Structure 1
Amino acid sequence: MQKSQENLEEKLSIPVRESTHSAPLSLMSIPQGQPSEPPGMNAEFLLSLIDPRPLCIPFNRKRVIWWLALTGLIASYAVLEWQTGITSSIHHALSYSSLPLMLLLLLYEPLMLAFALALVKYPEPEPDRDPLERAEEGHSKQDSAELTQELVLQREAYERNQALVVLIPCHKSIEVIRETVLSCLPHVPPKRIYVVDNGLEEIAPDGTHELIRTINSEVRYVYYGNTGNKTIALLTAIQYIHHHHPDNIQYALLIDDDVRIPRQYKVRYDFFSDEAVQGIVYPLRAISDFKPHSLLTRLQDLEYQLSDLDMAFLDRTHSVIRPHGAASLWRIKTLIEVLLHHNAVFKGDDVMMGLILQRMRTAQGPAKLRLDLNCCFETQAPHTILGPSPNLYEQRVRSWNEAQFLYFWNLSLKPLLTVWQRPCLSLLAIKNHQLYNVHAQFMHVLRLPLLIAFSTSPVYWGMQVGSSLLQGLLVAGFNYLKLPKERRNDWITVGSYPAYSWLNASFGTLSFLRVLFVSGPAAPYPRSIQTRIQHHQLALPNVAPSPKTPASDIQSQKTAMTHLRSHGLFRPSSLPRHDETQEAIEEDIIEFESVERRSEFN
């Protein structure tokens, strides 16, 4: 057996078994023990919901002005109510004129879903060939008999993905990062996996680095301390990669620290034959560490797949407008451009990346994304509503929905009113999608006033129930008639989905109230990373991943330096270093500038 393994290593040029400091690939199949189900409620989190301190902390001039403005609006309404009885007038007007409009608003989402169901087609699953049949393509039958399916698939993937690197941004991820890294190993060599840790602390606060070393000592790890920003950390890491591999690394797969790359994953490099395509978006499936998956996890899984249906409809017209935050693949040069123009705000960062890309143009027309429906990436989903963090309330009220309200102009309204240079059909699909986003935000704002105004109206409640029933029928049709069998959910999940939609709608309204009274005054509105670097307001971290790129792998640095110079970023503090000393960087710069001067002289 030992001799057989040595032969396999020699033939495939990949390690079958790592040293004592790294784990073999077969660890992925070793059960790690089933964690216990967490409680549905968490007392500490529930107390945080009624904590009044966020209403006034941080206390600054901006918050004082914000509260004075809100107080003025409330006082003005109170005066109008006392003088004119404005509430009764509004209620009377709404009773006669708004019900048809409300019906139209309620039907907008079901109509979009029905349209997508009619036009989207899911690909047939690719049958998995026999491992010996795969091996016969490049080996004799005698050799094939020695090859395991796992190693054959790994060899094929390594050969196919020679131009690919995987980046995993993370923070305090010791509980989830192991499975994520292991899911990458069948697709790229460990030295092409970069775990990009970042935080406000000077030293990494947990043992993520040590854990990664036990998985495979060749996986690259870097901690950007005193940063605490995912976008800045990613930009620094991707510039390091482009600086050291300007020619042979062309694509970067970004995945969150709790995402699993599927075993059957294959990069659709054929998409990039169109020069306008700058990235690929992937569908998501919601999973949990707790088996069997709870109803809440299954409902989120169905929600993600409905979102991917909408994305698939946009893909039919080459109109995908944003990546998923959990998994996307990019041309490296484009990714650097997008991150440089990003404002580095975490909330809504994936939407912002898509909006930046929409404004970019290529020789073949506007830059665009494509959707690959052939495989789904799995991501950890909250398994409770109000339980231990992270829970669904935190994810929706304090993050996803909150971002849409805090940055409503930048993420929703401004895109709707600008960027019209698109082919007609693509433009129509994009603007309809953006109009729906604006519609969803207004529905969250109007939901509470309408509920108060029509709480006793049978017509109002009839429309609400009818809309939910229509949604339920469409979701059932999607699950049983459109989705491939392996992606379908059970009938309990499908039947519960309208109630889950009501829960999400209430979270949207709560998020609006949170922005109004808590987070609105504290929201940051920074300029782009590029602008801040040019004005010396920001310097990228100057730390190299470990283990460092071997000297034999380092390509010419001229490409990276020219790129930085073209953006006005050519400063020693902005260059990711490949040596431990700042002097080495300065020597590179001096050498590069002298080469440029000689070129200009000649």
Structure 2
Amino acid sequence: MPEMENARLSIVEDVPVPKQLLATAKFNSPWEQVKWEKSLPQNDRTQPQYSATSKQNQSGGIVRSASLSTRRVARPRPATRPQSNPPELHSWENIRRSAFLKPPATVPENEPITPIKESFISPKSTPTNSQFNSRRSSMYEVYEKAKVRGVALHRKYWVRLLFEYSLYTLLILFVYFVLVGMPLWKGAVWWLYWVVQTKFVIQGGYAITIGLAALYAFLPLLILFEKDPPPKPEDSDFDLEKNDSNVKSTALIIPCYKSATIIGPTLKAALEIFPPKNIFVIANGNSETPLDNTEEVCRPYGVNHLWVPVGSKIVAQFAGCYAAKGFENVLLIDDDCALPPNFPIVSDRLNGKVKCVGYTIKSVGPNSSKGTFCQQAQDLEYKMSGLQRAFFGKLGSATFPHGAISIWNTEFLKQTFYEHPGFSVSEDWFFGDSCRRLGGRITMCSSVFVETETPSSVFFSGSGSRGGFGEMTIFQQRFKRWNFFFVVGMYYDLKYIMTSWKLGWWEIGAKLCVFQEVYETLIYLFAPFILPISFIVRPGFCGILLGATIGMYIVNVIIFNEIHLRLKKERISWVVLLFYYTFYKIALTVINVVSCYWSLYKYARYFAKRHPKVIEDRQAIEVILSLEQEVEHSTDENEEQLLRAQSENANAYKRLTLTRVGPDTMENWPLQSDMEQRSAHDSHSSPWI
């Protein structure tokens, strides 16, 4: 009985109390604090005894933690506890009952004990319930902040209306009183005409403008595309285990919207590289239930499927990052991107300051055809853009990876969501801006061209199979979406150039690339004034200069086509190059100029409603919390079944984090190749699909 009285009631008393925990204690007087500290267990006195016990245990093959001892030390238990502030000081009994610490009965005597301090602070320790609860509680904190922030960002209807029409009024006043001025005074346009006519040297001004354009156009031609990766042998069988070993650290995330008609070929191509468990189709839309049968289309392929009831690509990507937890890297692609069979996973390049690698893309028509002249012109444009980004990626950092495909470090990508302003338009551009401001470089992989179907015409809708948000004309694509943030983007670019220095020496090349965007936008904004005035003042010289500029760009694309694309066996036909591409680029220039002024008009309505960041979006955080709760449910109630499933079929256990689709029976498989049937059959053999 004396031994029982002196025995400890909780193993927690053997754990050293952190100073941070002591700092949270509150007392009514200094002597109460001294008395309480003296009553705490003297862990340093137990170390010699533990040390001797440890040596004895080692001879018996048992290893015990240095942070937690199961040996009960016979030392008198303190008779009293401080009772001055019970609400602030949780009792030892409450801590013992928490999920972070377990009573002695739950720790087998014949197994080693993981140090408790590791489960609290070590990022390399195996995930436990305590760490999961900690992550979940932090996400709940984000959720609560999002609810508060949502209320703060909400504007009443009359406020939005006042904001919108106030901007309209300011625009009208600016056009009249600043630009026109007549008959009250001479406006800025008149003074611009006077400067060009009397003071401005047109030849010198155009020499600087064309010189900068030539520099940005011809410098990227100094490098070549990377060599093609080794082709996949056609006569070899599809080896899922070998494929899994090559991509085991990378998840493929495919956000999609009403993509049932086009997601099938994308998944078919992806399964040549990724096992089904690595593929996450994140369907989204503003509806509680799916908007089409994308889930049924995904079923035969055995991939992961998640429905996100928020119509936003960036929210779908945000949910995909958390759905693919456990993967070190994520590859983001559009729903119409067909990965080539020899597609390289360049996750080894994600080291140091390189946090994102984009891929060069190519434009195709339906069923991977060359498509119309418009699609072939876009093909040339996309490939030139890829070489330019590869060039600036070597100098410092590309401005942003193409939204169609890029690979990211998962944890860093999550950080970018905290910096991303949350705009649903041009979300890929803001990903690049956030990446660079966080100190991450963006480079390019140019060894392959990833296919993506593009609009088939410039102004009038043609044939095509683009689904979801896929526009059928270039005008709709660029005028309404791509160019929307051209003017606002100048603010972010200038802010980055002036304030961001986290890339070190790499900032020089990165800022040169960013300045190109500012320079081009300024040309678009001033072109409606400078060009007419220049033609009025010096029509002959300006006509010759305009023709020389067009000729310079033709020479540029000929060199690119005959050297760079010839080496890649991706040349464009001369008919498209000489006759169609020139008029195509002129049409795009007009679209870009007009879209800048159209966006200035549309900003009034767009910014009348305040836009939260992704982490401030209550609905987006609710999606993440639902995923976390599903993980907890599968961990608590199905732990034994989960372990058994991992041992029986390692390809299935990650699907427990998602709403899953499973393959149908053999009779209903819409797959043609033996490879696809084997892949689906492997998934079908698991009871957890």
TM-score by length of 1: 0.71
Cα distance in 2, alignment partners of residues 543 and 431 from structure 1: 41
Query: Taking structure 1 as reference, are residues 452 and 127 closer, same or farther at Cα in structure 2, changes over 3 Å only?
Result: same
Structure 1 residue aligned with 2:501: 420
Query: Taking structure 1 as reference, are residues 407 and 431 closer, same or farther at Cα in structure 2, changes over 3 Å only?
Result: closer
Amino acid at match of 1:212: C
The alignment-based identity, stated in percent, is: 18
Cα distance in 1, alignment partners of residues 425 and 247 from structure 2: 31
Which of residues 503, 526, 529 is equivalent to 2:614?
529
Amino acid at match of 2:353: A
User: Which deviates more, 172-181 or 250-259?
Assistant: 172-181
Is the counterpart of residue 267 in structure 1 residue 327 in structure 2? no
Structure 2 residue aligned with 1:390: 472
What do you get for the CA RMSD once the two structures are aligned? 3.0
* Corresponding residue SS for 1:345: coil
Deviation at 1:465, TM superposition (A): 1.2
Q: Mind listing any 5+ residue stretches in structure 2 that lack a counterpart? A: 1-157, 462-470, 644-654, 660-689
Cα distance in 2, alignment partners of residues 78 and 123 from structure 1: 49
Cα distance in 1, alignment partners of residues 166 and 271 from structure 2: 53
Cα distance in 1, alignment partners of residues 249 and 398 from structure 2: 24
Structure 2 residue aligned with 1:308: 386
Is the counterpart of residue 448 in structure 1 residue 528 in structure 2? yes
Deviation at 1:171, TM superposition (A): 0.7
Amino acid at match of 1:182: K
Cα distance in 1, alignment partners of residues 547 and 191 from structure 2: 27
Structure 1 residue aligned with 2:559: 477
Structure 1 residue aligned with 2:195: 93
Query: Taking structure 1 as reference, are residues 543 and 453 closer, same or farther at Cα in structure 2, changes over 3 Å only?
Result: same
Is the counterpart of residue 80 in structure 1 residue 181 in structure 2? yes
CA contact (8 A) 2:370 2:376 kept: no
Structure 2 residue aligned with 1:220: 304
Is the counterpart of residue 151 in structure 1 residue 238 in structure 2? yes
| Pair member with larger Rg | 2
Structure 2 residue aligned with 1:65: 166
Amino acid at match of 1:491: W
CA contact (8 A) 1:341 1:529 kept: no
Is the counterpart of residue 514 in structure 1 residue 591 in structure 2? no
Is the counterpart of residue 125 in structure 1 residue 212 in structure 2? no
* Corresponding residue SS for 1:383: coil
* Corresponding residue SS for 1:369: strand
Query: Taking structure 1 as reference, are residues 499 and 111 closer, same or farther at Cα in structure 2, changes over 3 Å only?
Result: farther
Structure 1 residue aligned with 2:323: 240
Query: Taking structure 1 as reference, are residues 198 and 79 closer, same or farther at Cα in structure 2, changes over 3 Å only?
Result: closer
Cα distance in 2, alignment partners of residues 212 and 350 from structure 1: 26
Query: Taking structure 1 as reference, are residues 434 and 480 closer, same or farther at Cα in structure 2, changes over 3 Å only?
Result: same
Query: Taking structure 1 as reference, are residues 171 and 84 closer, same or farther at Cα in structure 2, changes over 3 Å only?
Result: same
* Corresponding residue SS for 1:443: helix
Structure 2 residue aligned with 1:402: 484
Query: Taking structure 1 as reference, are residues 430 and 61 closer, same or farther at Cα in structure 2, changes over 3 Å only?
Result: same
Which of residues 244, 255, 259 is equivalent to 1:169?
255
Deviation at 1:447, TM superposition (A): 1.4
Deviation at 1:482, TM superposition (A): 2.2
Query: Taking structure 1 as reference, are residues 316 and 192 closer, same or farther at Cα in structure 2, changes over 3 Å only?
Result: same
Deviation at 1:401, TM superposition (A): 1.1
Amino acid at match of 1:121: L
Cα distance in 1, alignment partners of residues 180 and 444 from structure 2: 54
Structure 1 residue aligned with 2:395: 317
Query: Taking structure 1 as reference, are residues 198 and 404 closer, same or farther at Cα in structure 2, changes over 3 Å only?
Result: same
Output one character per residue of 1:338-379: Cα deviation in whole Å (capped at 9) or x when no partner. Answer: 12332221222112112222233xxxxx43233211112111
Cα distance in 1, alignment partners of residues 339 and 656 from structure 2: 30
Cα distance in 1, alignment partners of residues 305 and 313 from structure 2: 15
Cα distance in 2, alignment partners of residues 430 and 553 from structure 1: 51
CA contact (8 A) 2:220 2:391 kept: yes
Query: Taking structure 1 as reference, are residues 461 and 157 closer, same or farther at Cα in structure 2, changes over 3 Å only?
Result: farther
Cα distance in 2, alignment partners of residues 175 and 378 from structure 1: 17
Is the counterpart of residue 252 in structure 1 residue 330 in structure 2? yes
CA contact (8 A) 1:385 1:392 kept: yes
CA contact (8 A) 2:347 2:407 kept: no
Cα distance in 2, alignment partners of residues 346 and 234 from structure 1: 12
Cα distance in 2, alignment partners of residues 193 and 301 from structure 1: 27
Cα distance in 2, alignment partners of residues 336 and 348 from structure 1: 18
* Corresponding residue SS for 1:373: strand
* Corresponding residue SS for 1:112: helix
Cα distance in 1, alignment partners of residues 272 and 180 from structure 2: 68
Output one character per residue of 1:369-396: Cα deviation in whole Å (capped at 9) or x when no partner. Answer: 3321111211111111223343100111
CA contact (8 A) 2:229 2:448 kept: no
Structure 1 residue aligned with 2:57: none
Deviation at 1:187, TM superposition (A): 1.0
Q: Mind listing any 5+ residue stretches in structure 1 that lack a counterpart? A: 1-56, 132-147, 361-365, 556-575, 581-602
Deviation at 1:128, TM superposition (A): 3.3
Deviation at 1:453, TM superposition (A): 1.6
Structure 2 residue aligned with 1:35: none
Structure 2 residue aligned with 1:374: 447
Which of residues 375, 390, 403 is equivalent to 1:297?
375
* Corresponding residue SS for 2:238: helix
Cα distance in 2, alignment partners of residues 74 and 370 from structure 1: 42
Query: Taking structure 1 as reference, are residues 297 and 129 closer, same or farther at Cα in structure 2, changes over 3 Å only?
Result: closer
Cα distance in 2, alignment partners of residues 173 and 206 from structure 1: 8
Is the counterpart of residue 211 in structure 1 residue 297 in structure 2? yes
Cα distance in 1, alignment partners of residues 620 and 241 from structure 2: 46
Structure 2 residue aligned with 1:593: none
Deviation at 1:458, TM superposition (A): 1.7
Cα distance in 2, alignment partners of residues 553 and 180 from structure 1: 32
Query: Taking structure 1 as reference, are residues 554 and 198 closer, same or farther at Cα in structure 2, changes over 3 Å only?
Result: farther
Structure 2 residue aligned with 1:328: 406
Query: Taking structure 1 as reference, are residues 553 and 64 closer, same or farther at Cα in structure 2, changes over 3 Å only?
Result: farther
Number of matched pairs: 468
Query: Taking structure 1 as reference, are residues 129 and 352 closer, same or farther at Cα in structure 2, changes over 3 Å only?
Result: closer
CA contact (8 A) 1:469 1:498 kept: no
Structure 1 residue aligned with 2:52: none
* Corresponding residue SS for 1:513: helix
Deviation at 1:322, TM superposition (A): 2.0
Deviation at 1:544, TM superposition (A): 4.9
Is the counterpart of residue 344 in structure 1 residue 426 in structure 2? no
Structure 1 residue aligned with 2:517: 437
